Amino acid sequence: MSKSVLVIEDEPNIIEAISFILSRDGWRVASHSNGVDAVEAVEHRKPDLVILDVMLPGRSGYDILRELRAKENTGKLPVLMLTARGQTKDRALAEEIGASRFMSKPFSNAEVLEAVNALIAL
């Protein structure tokens, strides 16, 4: 049975790159590109892992992560947060809210693959 990932990201080139990398590794990849109903998308798709961008249209990734962590059915879901701003305060906030891992853009294919496989192995 293949693992599934939901990529919540609004930049098509990043969605395409992540989808390509993970599909090649046997993942089933779905994407969602706005923050407004991202939590509903997670609950509907029930992925094994979420890759979540910090800056999304309609709602920030931080707010989405807070809501996911507050819910019983998504509280323990592995979440890899992506941000274009890799400042220490962004990383600290992501960890405080409950991000499983944090990655700054741009990232390499190998970094993404290593991160998702490490998270799913936990």
Domain residue extents for the chain: 4-121
For 96, the token pair is 């405080």
How far lies 70's CA from each of 12, 17, 27, 101, 116, in Å? Answer: 29, 30, 27, 18, 22
Q: Quote the pLDDT of residue 88.
A: 86
Q: Is the dihedral of CA 87, 92, 102, 16 positive or negative?
A: negative
For 122, the token pair is 């936990």
Mean pLDDT of the chain: 94
Q: Is the pLDDT of residue 4 over 90?
A: yes
Contact present, 68 and 75 (Cβ < 8 Å): yes
Q: Give the Cα separation of 102 and 91 in Å (integer).
A: 7
- Give per-residue pLDDT as tens, 51-110: 999 999 999 999 999 999 999 999 999 999 998 877 888 889 999 999 999 999 999 999
Q: Quote the pLDDT of residue 67.
A: 98
Question: 4-121 adopts what CATH topology?
Answer: Rossmann fold (3.40.50)
DSSP-derived 3-state class of residue 76? coil
- Read off the pTM: 0.96
Q: Give the Cα separation of 61 and 52 in Å (integer).
A: 6
